[in-house]
Structure 1
Amino acid sequence: MTVLGIRALNRATLARQLLLDRADVPVIDAVAHLCGLQAQEPQEPFVGLWSRLRGFDPAALSDLLTGRRVVRTHLMRRTVHLLTADDVLAWRARHDVMLRQKVLGVYRRELAGVDLEELAAAGRAVLADGEPRSMSELARAVAERWPAPGPRPLGEMLVAALIPMVQLPPRGLWRMKAGVRNVPLSSWVGREIDPPAQDGADPVGQALVRRYLAAFGPAATADLRAWCGLAGLPAAVAAVRDELVAFRDERGRELLDLPGAPRPDPDTPAPVRFLPAFDNALLGYHDCGRIVDDAHRGLSVTGARVVLVDGRVAATWSVEDDAVVVSPLRRLSRADRAEVAEQGRSLASFLTDDAGDRVEIAAGPG
């Protein structure tokens, strides 16, 4: 079985994530290809798409949100993602059990004795008037029936698990700040979610395997689980296994992939890329060593924005006083610093419309 080294995996990941070459595709196609973008920080997906698409116009994403073709909702790993409406409708039922278990993992004691089906029915009754509500407003509306848990556990269970919801614009629109207002997914997009399969088959799970590998492969089954949070995918993997090709990484793990998916030469040049907080290029794997060194893996879960140099995390970045400030994690060569500065100026212009396009690069270690 062919062994893929770290650099080969890195270049494959960059290609699948549209980070090796900026893509000329419509925004909605990019969101679908990436299986959604992590979006608990509302403005971060705009940076993620700016880094991936040639000539990205942020208004195009805002228009998709207001046009109800892209939505903000809890899905993979119970985190807020930006996904196409079609994907949410197709995938949501397959995530129901996981979403409930994730919330119960935090609030099992508080929600002990609460009949979750009754709670879901009460929540739907409150939402039947069509009015958007915050999580706390919805929780308070049912708290008289269940006073013991407190509003937070009730609200989390209703909004993140029991009732498929979307977060309404203007939250998530370009350069807009707005609180979270929720409505049921089906009422917002005008369609019901796809029902779960009744015959024991798992077509949605199989589709998730294929879609994940297209955007993240080659990958191990542990990586797939880390991305979606679903425990019950081994059968789906087994069902499509004859369609896939297998490799091993340098640790001996089996990696699966789609046979025709891009796996560029490991020596393919990789341009500097600025990634947003919680980008799935890092969070979409159980083992993200293909893109970040062991010493810096914690950055992916703390919300640090990172800079890729030669395809690997080499710096963090922030915006201060309309300037993009880069803090290297290792010594950068003169050529690397020049490319980081060039991309940083472009990012500063995108984020601030500041003619100065300021970027500051700290000296860094070494």
Structure 2
Amino acid sequence: MNDGEVLGPRALGRALLARQHLLTRTAATPAAMIGHLGGLQAQAVPQPPYLGLLARLDGFTPDALDELIEGRQAVRIALQRGTIHLVTAEDCLTLRPLLQPVLDQGLRATFGKRLDGLDLDALAAEARALVEEEPRTFQRLGVELAATRADRDPAALAQAARCLLPLVQVPPRGLWGRGGPAAHTTAEDWLGRPLDPAPSLDDLALRYLAAFGPATVADLQKWCGLSRLAPVLKRLAPGLVTFRDDHGRLLHDLPDAPRPDPDTPAPVRLVAPFDNLLLSHADRTRVLPEEYRGRVMTQNGIVLGTLLVDGLVAGSWRLAEDRPGERVVTVRPFVPQARADRRAAEAEAERVLAFAGGGGAVRFEEPE
């Protein structure tokens, strides 16, 4: 136990960036990085997971992730916080049953009254037969399920199927430079394997700490969407070390995980939209100053790409197509930047353009 030592926001930020491979990029494979991170949030298509890997990996190309998705080694499925994540096939089969309560809660909160009195087992069986016959969009699935349930809302029926079944989105949905409707089939049918019959919450917590620690119980719960996880960390305590943050909250960590000196230099980075770097702690101030939260997390649920300077969010950015074949990276610092930091941001933006292919330009907007 080491719970007398205090780790301030800068120390916590450097530890997080080290584990996220945002201090130093790595030559790890895309599959290894996806597994290490426990997946990348991916409800927006196609940019976030591709740009998330680009920020962390040397030599990464769009084809490398396309091949994983088309080869059924990585899939898009609703997981942490009920949102779509890109995960390895193995994690799909393990995480999906662990996170079933998150999906159950979301379904009750949004569609509960519209599903009162419905035979959910029969609905799940019918939905499984339909999507395993041929992948279906939720719109089509809802209409077909409503054909024998005329008094029910098709959208609610489709969302019930999404909760009750481990539905993966099949390509070309989410591929770089391509696209298609969000059509679904079951993970078991797509991957040819059953769900993990005995997934471990202990393993889930340890993996979270490896990629996002040191962390409080509240942080762990924010990342995954589950509640009442204090007993898990208490059970794991003999193999963990503990600290306090500067508010006195108890932090849990793996003994040998990196915790760099708070003064370790942090390079300028362009972090992907919806990146879990910003979404996986109850207290995000280790990387996101509170005064900037509303500027990168909009009221309609969009999380912008962010500019990191000295380990903290200092602006936003976006990759867009100005006209066919002409891409633009627009960087919007929140405050004036030092000349060296601006040059570093320009280099990161040029790296994004090279990854995206085709012609392009980098634009800087003046701080507001």
Q: CA RMSD in A?
A: 1.4
Equivalent position of 2:154 in the other structure = 151
CA distance in 1, matches of 2:28, 2:354: 22
Equivalent position of 2:343 in the other structure = 338
CA distance in 2, matches of 1:273, 1:137: 41
Equivalent position of 1:14 in the other structure = 17
CA distance in 2, matches of 1:125, 1:71: 20
Q: 1:319 to 1:90 in 2, by over 3 A?
A: closer
Structure 2, unpaired ranges of 5+ = none
Q: Which moved more, 1:167-176 or 1:227-236?
A: 227-236
Equivalent position of 1:276 in the other structure = 272
Equivalent position of 2:167 in the other structure = 165
Equivalent position to 1:174, from 169, 173, 176: 176
Equivalent position to 1:109, from 74, 98, 113: 113
What TM-score, normalized to structure 1? Answer: 0.94
Equivalent position of 1:244 in the other structure = 240
Question: How many aligned residue pairs are there?
Answer: 355
Q: How many percent identity over aligned positions?
A: 42
**Which residues of 2 match residues 290-301 of structure 1 at below 5 A?**
290-298=286-294, 299-300=296-297, 301=301
Q: Secondary structure at the match of 2:158?
A: helix
**Which residues of 2 match residues 52-201 of structure 1 at below 5 A?**
52-129=56-133, 131-159=134-162, 161-196=163-198
Equivalent position to 2:261, from 265, 274, 280: 265
Cα offset for 1:128?
4.3
**Which residues of 2 match residues 42-53 of structure 1 at below 5 A?**
42-43=45-46, 44-53=48-57
Deviation per CA, 1:290-341, whole angstroms, max 9, x where unpaired? 0011112232442211111111111111234222111111221111111111
In the alignment, is the contact (CA less than 8 A) between 1:110 and 1:148 conserved in 2? no
Q: Secondary structure at the match of 1:279?
A: coil
Equivalent position of 1:204 in the other structure = 200
Cα offset for 1:358?
1.9
In the alignment, is the contact (CA less than 8 A) between 1:306 and 1:317 conserved in 2? yes
CA distance in 2, matches of 1:244, 1:345: 41
What TM-score, normalized to structure 2? Answer: 0.93
**Which residues of 2 match residues 312-323 of structure 1 at below 5 A?**
312-320=312-320, 321=322, 322-323=327-328
Residue 218 of structure 2 is aligned to residue 214 of structure 1? no
Q: 1:343 to 1:128 in 2, by over 3 A?
A: closer
Q: 1:128 to 1:24 in 2, by over 3 A?
A: closer
Cα offset for 1:94?
1.6
Cα offset for 1:125?
2.8
Q: Secondary structure at the match of 1:317?
A: strand
Q: 1:135 to 1:250 in 2, by over 3 A?
A: same
Cα offset for 1:360?
1.2
In the alignment, is the contact (CA less than 8 A) between 2:14 and 2:261 conserved in 1? yes
Equivalent position to 2:28, from 19, 25, 28: 25
Cα offset for 1:70?
0.6
Q: Secondary structure at the match of 2:27?
A: coil
Equivalent position of 1:199 in the other structure = none
Residue 309 of structure 2 is aligned to residue 302 of structure 1? no
Equivalent position of 2:7 in the other structure = 4
Cα offset for 1:93?
1.4
Q: Which moved more, 1:210-219 or 1:146-155?
A: 146-155
In the alignment, is the contact (CA less than 8 A) between 2:241 and 2:253 conserved in 1? yes
Q: Secondary structure at the match of 2:200?
A: helix
Equivalent position to 1:34, from 37, 43, 47: 37
Equivalent position of 1:200 in the other structure = none
Deviation per CA, 1:87-135, whole angstroms, max 9, x where unpaired? 1111221212221111111111211222322221221232342x11111
In the alignment, is the contact (CA less than 8 A) between 2:62 and 2:355 conserved in 1? no
Equivalent position to 1:324, from 329, 343, 348: 329
Q: Secondary structure at the match of 1:281?
A: coil
CA distance in 1, matches of 2:152, 2:272: 35
CA distance in 2, matches of 1:35, 1:329: 30
**Matching residue's letter, 1:313:** V
CA distance in 1, matches of 2:358, 2:337: 28
Q: Secondary structure at the match of 2:277?
A: helix
Deviation per CA, 1:143-183, whole angstroms, max 9, x where unpaired? 13333331111111212x10111100111112112111101
In the alignment, is the contact (CA less than 8 A) between 2:131 and 2:184 conserved in 1? no
Q: Secondary structure at the match of 1:51?
A: helix
